[in-house]
Chains A and B, each alone.
Chain A
């Protein structure tokens, strides 16, 4: 998001920018050095810092994260309950329990692999398609280009339920050669991921501009060389962000997967979690959902490191930061 640029403004502007409750912040530059002194000032001066806002912000963050931590905690429950803690068992619901653990319950194991399969195929198809579409739409001029751009924006604003119904009906009535199946699910996932890739890549395209390619052309590069040796390497960080984004939204998707599902063989992790919550869930469901959390979080960690490596040497205020790429749809 544009938060990265905002933080600089925050540093330079703190203190005198008297908004809301921040009245006298500029005074304590030297006093701020010791923690105990800061604490004393914080307690003694009710107007120094917006305490109400501090509390709301941290309370919100806690409330948004604690339930997930509790759910992960119960994936380590030694008993069969997801609400009453009966002792710690690290592996029981992941793979040691012989019948109901994620690894040994065929439905759970299948759902895990189905989710990964859809996300993988989605990444492989939507990313190249979206990158080409982004380059095309950014540089193609004319009424047809505007119309295409208009179509591209549609999936971003359409509630998933409508897209799910529409795809379900089209596979049922028109494209009858594709029954509800993994294939249909992949086609659906690509359809809603495509526009995200376009938005991310296009942001990067605008920020790098045309000058590098023009320089290459002036120095004798053919158009093909300009694309392959100049544009592609410059787009790599955005392509990488797109891959991560597609993975994340595909793994997270419930609606499209459910509408195009062929039954229990097409169940993904969200579908399995959804259908279990209304029954009598075992901690293995928590373990299944927790595995997805571990995977996405480690993927994000890796992505962040790789992205940092790829954009090293670029000025941080550039428009290509990963956070900003991922939030390219901000208002």
Chain B
């Protein structure tokens, strides 16, 4: 009923937009990473032709990732922070999602609305709130002193790794819970009933049925929050701001906004993309698969 050329015509403007402002920019990162540096102004001169690529800054950056060197420390630190934040988020997020999907009855609507609320409060607003609470004379320290848990209030906001991990958890848990909830909701209840009918205890049914069935959801939700956490530089800056808690994102930010070496920054960005490629691919495959299911 529609002419065949109509659909490509519909798609062209958007696809062109993405090519010009998404793919080409990534090529610009590669060009700058393998480009030279203007000797007078010290700004990068990108090389667009792969034949002209220079590998000096990339090799120098790669050397930094050897164990013991500076980027290695940052990479290890970033991975540890992200892993801890991910574990913490799952420890909080899974029980919450499980409760809402399985047991909440009348409170389900209210709980869902409250869960979605943080999505509509800007991330920076939530970080501001967090910093206000943890500031030297903020409510948290007042509470700790009042309950005599500590005598001198701890300094949360100057290079304290605990605060960075807590900040990451606080910032990203909402993005974990909703996909997890969707995955848990999709589990067929009759499977659980069958497990119980066949004599499994509630704990066994959970361990042998619910948990394995929610594994794709756990993986997917973890990838969803791990990706932005690896690229995060603002959270450590806000809750710590100290070089002792620098993450990879901070390192990239510093090279562009503070330092004179954008080509090193570009190399770091490229390496970070390669490092995250597996996670990104996994996420893309799951989205594509979900869309195929919708289509069917």
Contacts and interface: CB of A to CB of B under 8 A. Distances in A.
Contact of B238 (A202, A278, A323): A278
A65 B109 CA distance: 16
Interface string B250-274: 0011001000001001100100110
Interface in A3-28: 3, 5-7, 9-11, 13-14, 16-23
Contacts of B3: 223
Nearest to B296: A206
A160 B228 contact: yes
A165 B252 contact: yes
Nearest to B122: A252
Interface residues of B, number: 125
Of B119, B136, B252, the most chain A CB neighbours within 10 A belong to: B119
A contact residues, range: 35 or more
Interface in A161-206: 161-163, 165-170, 173-174, 187-188, 190-191, 194, 198-199, 202-203, 206
A156 B287 contact: yes
A191 B135 CA distance: 37
Contact of A132 (B2, B10, B92): B10
Contact of B231 (A161, A202, A252): A161
Nearest to B184: A6
Nearest to B9: A136
Interface stretch (B21-29, B56-64, B144-152): B21-29
Interface of B, helix, strand, loop or mixed by DSSP: helix
Contacts of A56: 92, 95-96, 99
6 contacts: A3-B181, A6-B185, A7-B109, A17-B196, A166-B26, A167-B21
Interface of B: 1-3, 6-15, 17-19, 21-26, 28-29, 31-32, 44, 46, 92, 95-96, 98-105, 108-109, 111-112, 114-133, 135-139, 170, 173-174, 178-179, 181-183, 185-186, 189, 192-193, 196, 202-203, 205-206, 209-210, 216-217, 220-221, 224, 227-228, 230-234, 237-238, 241, 249, 252-253, 256, 262, 265-266, 269, 272-273, 276, 279-280, 283-284, 286-288, 290-291, 294-295
